[in-house]
């Protein structure tokens, strides 16, 4: 029986995936190379330093640890600048009605994000109070596709993975949910998320009941 819903943040609740892309691209450009939207798909759900290493690999660049930390912090400053300009209007379509309905019907709500900026973004779009538990990049030691973030979430909610549905826009996130034994609902393109139990293009035109029905 489903008792909780665990949301990824970037690309599921808010369209911050585009801000991560823009900031990483700006860094790559300043370092003298570029990378594509297709390559960017591989960065979704992946921690800051793991993303850094992937990007440098695509550019064929090697940097010292010190320089990596410096550039990662610069990228984060650019990203945070974008986050700080967000308003509740940037909550993705259908998310707020779903959160309200989940709360009304007594389901637990969790956040499972790789980002260290998750609380900042939730606060900015004013939905922090909907979450019963928040597991983010400040609490995990392993990045998606490792299931740690969702396992910690379920544990905090005192539930088993099979009692939780995970919403994810990233290949790495769907993989993390499945490896952990959770139900996975992909939000986005079935081309990238096809392994999930269900893929929705967005939260519009769906209901909690329809989601539960189609994964079971």
- Report the nearest approach of ligand BG6 to the CB of residue 171 (Å): 11
Question: At residue 29, what are phi and psi to the nearest 5 degrees?
Answer: -60, -40
- Report the nearest approach of ligand BG6 to the CB of residue 20 (Å): 4
Q: For residues 167-180, b (16+ Cβ closer than 10 Å) or e, as one string?
A: bbbbbbbbbbbbbb
CB 180 within 8 A of CB 147: yes
User: 117 Cβ partners below 8 Å, 6+ apart?
Assistant: 76, 79, 80, 83
How far apart, in whole angstroms, are the C-alpha atoms of residue 137 and residue 112?
Answer: 9
- Clarify whether 8 is annotated catalytic: yes
Instruction: With CB under 6 A as the rule, give the number of residues binding ligand BG6.
Output: 19
How far apart, in whole angstroms, are the C-alpha atoms of residue 120 and residue 194?
Answer: 31
Contact positions with ligand BG6 (CB under 6 A) in 78-137: 113-117, 137
User: 212 Cβ partners below 8 Å, 6+ apart?
Assistant: 2, 165
How far apart, in whole angstroms, are the C-alpha atoms of residue 77 and residue 74?
Answer: 5
Instruction: With CB under 5 A as the rule, give the number of residues binding Mg ion.
Output: 5
- Clarify whether 189 is annotated catalytic: no
Q: By CB under 6 A, is residue 151 in contact with ligand BG6?
A: no
Contact positions with Mg ion (CB under 5 A) in 110-169: 169
Q: By CB under 6 A, is residue 10 in contact with ligand BG6?
A: yes
Which listed range, 9-17, 30-38, 184-192, 204-212, lies at the site for ligand BG6 (CB under 6 A)? 9-17
- Report the nearest approach of ligand BG6 to the CB of residue 186 (Å): 14
Q: By CB under 6 A, is residue 48 in contact with ligand BG6?
A: yes
Under the rule (CB under 5 A), what is the footprint of Mg ion? 8, 10-11, 169-170
Under the rule (CB under 6 A), what is the footprint of ligand BG6? 9-10, 17, 20, 43-48, 51, 76, 113-117, 137, 170
Which residues belong to the active site?
A: 8, 10
């Amino acid at each position: 029986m489903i008792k909780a819903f665990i949301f990824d943040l970037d690309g599921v609740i808010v369209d911050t995936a585009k801000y991560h892309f823009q900031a990483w691209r700006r860094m790559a450009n300043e370092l003298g190379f570029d990378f594509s939207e297709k390559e960017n798909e591989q960065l979704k759900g992946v921690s800051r330093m793991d993303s850094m290493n992937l990007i440098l690999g695509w550019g064929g660049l090697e940097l010292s640890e010190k320089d990596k930390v410096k550039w990662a912090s610069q990228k984060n400053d650019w990203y945070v600048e974008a986050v700080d300009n967000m308003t509740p209007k940037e909550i993705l379509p259908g998310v707020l009605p779903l959160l309200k309905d989940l709360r009304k019907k007594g389901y637990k709500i969790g956040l499972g994000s790789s980002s260290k900026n998750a609380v900042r973004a939730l606060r900015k779009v004013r939905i922090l109070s909907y979450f019963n538990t928040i597991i983010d990049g400040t609490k995990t030691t392993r990045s998606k596709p490792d299931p740690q973030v969702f396992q910690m979430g379920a544990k905090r909610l005192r539930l088993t993975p099979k009692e939780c549905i995970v919403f994810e826009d990233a290949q790495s996130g769907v993989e993390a949910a499945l490896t952990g034994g959770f139900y996975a609902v992909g939000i986005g393109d079935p081309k990238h998320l096809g392994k999930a139990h269900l893929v929705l293009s967005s939260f519009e035109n769906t209901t909690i009941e329809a989601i539960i029905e189609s994964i079971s």
